[in-house]
Amino acid sequence: MKYLKPWRSDGGGLLHLTILLSLAGLRLDLDLDLCLLLPPPTLLRDELLLGCDPTSPAYALSPYPAPGGWGRADQLHPKGREADPAAPPEGQLLREVRALGVPFIPRTRVDAWLVHRVAAGDADGAHGLLGAAAASSAGGVGAGVDGGSQAAPGGGGDPRASPSSPLAARQEEKAPAEQTARVPDADGRASEENEVLRERHEAVDHSSQHEENEQRVSAQEEKSLQQKNEDENKTADKPDWEAEKTTESRNEGISLGDIPALPGSSNDGMNSSAHYNVNFSQAISHDVNLHEAMLLCPDNTFRRDPVVRTSQPQEPFLQLNSHTTNAEQSLPVANLTAFLPFVDNQMRNLTSEDFLHDLNINIFDEINLMSLATGDLDAMEVSQLFQEPDSDSGLSLNSSHNSTSITKSNTSHSICEEGATGYSSDPESLPHHNLEGAVGGNYPAPMGHRSDSGFCGDLAFQHVFHNHTYHLEPRALESNSESFSWPEKPEKMSRYLSDTERNLSRDERRAKALRIPFSVDEIVRMPVDSFNSMLSRHYLTDLQVSLIRDIRRRGKNKVAAQNCRRRKMDIILNLEEDVCNLQAKKETLKRERAQCNKAINIMKQKLHHLYHDVFSRLRDDEGRPVNPNQYALQYSHDGSVLIVPKELVTSGHKKENRKRKREGIEDGFH
C-alpha cells in the first residue's frame, strides 16, 4: 500500500512535472500504476533525500505540511495504461523515443508515450495525460493541488498558467538567452511551448537556489514502488539500459538520495535515486539546492528550522568540505563536482556562506571571510583567531549564552547585564582583561561555560565573544568613565568566575579589575580623614575614585546594615528575655499571694476561736452568759475592750465587710 502526498498547492508540482517531461531535464518516471509523480525539483533537494516512504520516520519530520492528507496511490491514479488507447506498442514506442534523440530512457510505456507525444510536438496531449494524472491525484486526496488546476486548463496543464509566480517571472527574465538547447520539435506550437518550458526549467536551474528557499512554501513528495517499471525495463534494449544504469549509478552517487547518506547511514533503498531515475548529467538541476543538501544532518533530518540549522551545520560543513577537496572519493559531493564544475564553485561558496550564516552573521565582522570563502581557513588559523593577544577572553567567555549574547553584543554597544559583550566598562566584566594588567594578556579562559559541543563550534563562538570586546583598554575605560555604569546585577557573573575569583566579593573583583591600590577592607575601615587624604595623595582616575567611594559607601552601609540587624536581633533577644523574666516573676508573685491568703485564713480561724472563747467567759450583770449573736467585741483606740450590741457594730462595719467580700471574690479569680 502506497500513499501519496499531494504536491503543494502552488502549482509547482505539475509545472515541474511538465518541465521534466517536456525537456528531459529530469527523467520522468511516471508509473501510473503506482501513481508516482515526480515531485517538483525543489523537492528533490530535501525530500528525495529521504526517500519517499511516507511511512518512514523521516517523513514525519517533513517540514512540508500535507494539506490534503494522504491518499492511497491505487485510488489516485487514472487508468494508467488505458489513459491513451492510441499509444503504440511498447517496443515501437521506445524505438521512436530513442529515434527522437531524447536523452533519457523511459522506463514505462506511459513514460515513453508521453515523451513521444511531447517530442513529436503533441504537448497538449502529453499535458492532458499528465494533467489527468495530476488532477486525479489532487482530486483523489481532496487536496488543493492548485498546480494541477492551474497548469492544466482543460486538462492540459499549461505551465504558463501561473504567470504571477515568482518562478515564472524569473524564468521569463532568463528566457531569451537560453533558447538554443532545445529538444527537437516538429510542431511550432509544441516547440514554443517546450521552449518556454525549457526556459523555465533552466531558470529554475540557475537563478533560484537561494531565492526559492525563501519563496518555496512547503512541498510534498511521494514515494513509489518501481517493481513494475523494472519489469518493463527488462524488455528494453539492454545495452542502452546498462549504459543508462551506469550513468545513473554514477549519478546516483550524487543523487539526492545519497547526499545525506553520510558515512554510517544506511540506504534502505528508498532513498535511492533509482526510484526516480534522475539523469543528473543533464538534470541534476541545479534546482537541487546543494548547500542545503550539504547542511542536512547525517541522520536524514531535513528540517529547515533555523534553530536546528544553526545548531547543526558545522560538522556537516566540515565533512562536506573535505568531500569537496577529495573529489576522487565516491562521496556524493565529489561526484557532483566532477559532473558539474559550476556546482563545485557554487557549493563552495554556498557552503561557506551558509556555514558562516549558521554560526552567526556576526562572525563576519571578525573572521576573515575571504579565508573561509576560499577555503584557506584551517584549524590553526581558527585557533589563532581565538588566541589573538588583544582579544578579551575573560569578557567574552563570561557570556555563557552563546548566540543570544552574540546578538546582544552585535545589536548594541550598551552594557549588557551579563557584561559579556558589547562595550562595557564594567571591569568586572573584564576580569582577565584587567586582572592581568592589560587587555589581551594571555589569560587562560577560566570560564566554565565552554560547551561540550564541539571544538569548532566553541571556537566560533568564543571568537565572536573575543572580538566583541573591542580591544578596550583600561584607558579607554577611563575615558568613558563619564558614561560608566555597572551592570545591574553583576552578581550573576559569579557563576562564570573561577573558584579564586568566586571567593572575592563583587567590590573586590571590581577593585582588582581597576587596579585600585587599596584593599576593600582598608577603604571601608579607613577613617574619614585618612580616606580623604588617601584620595588626594594618590593619582586616581575618576572611575577609580568613584569606585572607591562606592566601595566605601557600600562597605559602610553593609557594616551598618549588619550592625543594624545585629542590634535588631539584640533588641528582639532582649525583649524575649524580658518576657521570660516577667513571666517568671509573675509566677513567683502568684505563689506568694497564695501563701498569704493561706496565712490569712489561718489567722481568721484563730480569731474566730478566740472570739468564741472570750464570749464564753463573759457574764452579764445577772451572771448569765453573753449571747455572741446579740453582742460583739469592739476594741477601742486606748486598748480597752467594750461589749457593744451588734446593731451598733453592724451599721459601722457593713461597708467594710462588703469591701472585704469584694476583695475576696477578686482574689478567687487569681
Partner DNA sequence: TCCCGGTGTCATCTG
Partner DNA sequence: TGCAGATGACACCGG
Q: Which residues bind DNA (CB under 7 A)?
A: 489, 491-492, 505-507, 528, 550, 553-558, 560-565, 567-568
> Least distance (Å) from DNA to the CB of residue 485?
10
> Least distance (Å) from DNA to the CB of residue 435?
19
Span between the terminal Cα atoms of the chain, in Å: 97
Contact 41, 209 (CB under 8 A): no
User: In 3-state terms, what secondary structure has residue 642?
Assistant: strand
> Least distance (Å) from DNA to the CB of residue 554?
4
Residue with cell 523555465: 200
C-beta closer to DNA: residue 392 or 507 = 507
C-beta closer to DNA: residue 379 or 560 = 560
C-beta closer to DNA: residue 571 or 602 = 571
C-beta closer to DNA: residue 383 or 503 = 503
> Least distance (Å) from DNA to the CB of residue 491?
5
Report the alpha-carbon distance of residue 451 to residue 457 in Å, rounded. Answer: 9
> Least distance (Å) from DNA to the CB of residue 561?
3
635 Cβ contact partners less than 8 Å away, ≥ 6 residues apart: 641, 642
- What is the CB-side half-sphere exposure of residue 392 using CA atoms within 13 A? 33
User: In 3-state terms, what secondary structure has residue 189?
Assistant: helix
C-beta closer to DNA: residue 338 or 535 = 535
Buried residues in 581-619 as b, exposed as e (16+ CB within 10 A) = eeeeeeeeeeeeeeeeeeeeeeeeeeeeeeeeeebeeee
C-beta closer to DNA: residue 79 or 568 = 568
Report the alpha-carbon distance of residue 524 to residue 513 in Å, rounded. Answer: 18
Contact 615, 628 (CB under 8 A): yes
> Least distance (Å) from DNA to the CB of residue 464?
25
* 538 membership: H or E segment, kind and range: none
C-beta closer to DNA: residue 441 or 446 = 446
Report the alpha-carbon distance of residue 253 to residue 166 in Å, rounded. Answer: 32
Contact 555, 520 (CB under 8 A): yes
Report the alpha-carbon distance of residue 553 to residue 543 in Å, rounded. Answer: 15
Q: Is 579 exposed, middle or buried (0-12, 13-18, 19+ CB in 10 A)?
A: exposed
Residue with cell 539492454: 238
Contact 347, 445 (CB under 8 A): no
> Least distance (Å) from DNA to the CB of residue 545?
14
> Least distance (Å) from DNA to the CB of residue 551?
8
Report the alpha-carbon distance of residue 488 to residue 384 in Å, rounded. Answer: 33
Main-chain phi, psi angles of 379, to 5 degrees = -65, -40
Report how far Cα 248 is from the mean position of its chain's Cα atoms. 41
C-beta closer to DNA: residue 238 or 495 = 495
C-beta closer to DNA: residue 172 or 550 = 550
C-beta closer to DNA: residue 370 or 564 = 564
C-beta closer to DNA: residue 491 or 578 = 491
User: In 3-state terms, what secondary structure has residue 299?
Assistant: coil
> Least distance (Å) from DNA to the CB of residue 543?
15
Q: What would the grid cell of residue 667 be?
A: 482574689
Q: What would the grid cell of residue 460 be?
A: 566560533
C-beta closer to DNA: residue 553 or 598 = 553
> Least distance (Å) from DNA to the CB of residue 582?
23
C-beta closer to DNA: residue 114 or 513 = 513
Q: What would the grid cell of residue 168 be?
A: 515564472
C-beta closer to DNA: residue 501 or 507 = 507
> Least distance (Å) from DNA to the CB of residue 490?
9
Q: What would the grid cell of residue 510 be?
A: 571590581
- C-alpha distance from residue 183 to each of 87, 190, 284, 596 (Å): 21, 10, 17, 132
Q: Dihedral sign for Cα 644, 646, 651, 654, please.
A: positive
324 Cβ contact partners less than 8 Å away, ≥ 6 residues apart: 333, 334, 337, 344, 347, 348, 351
> Least distance (Å) from DNA to the CB of residue 562?
6
Q: Dihedral sign for Cα 291, 297, 299, 305, please.
A: negative
> Least distance (Å) from DNA to the CB of residue 69?
37
> Least distance (Å) from DNA to the CB of residue 534?
13
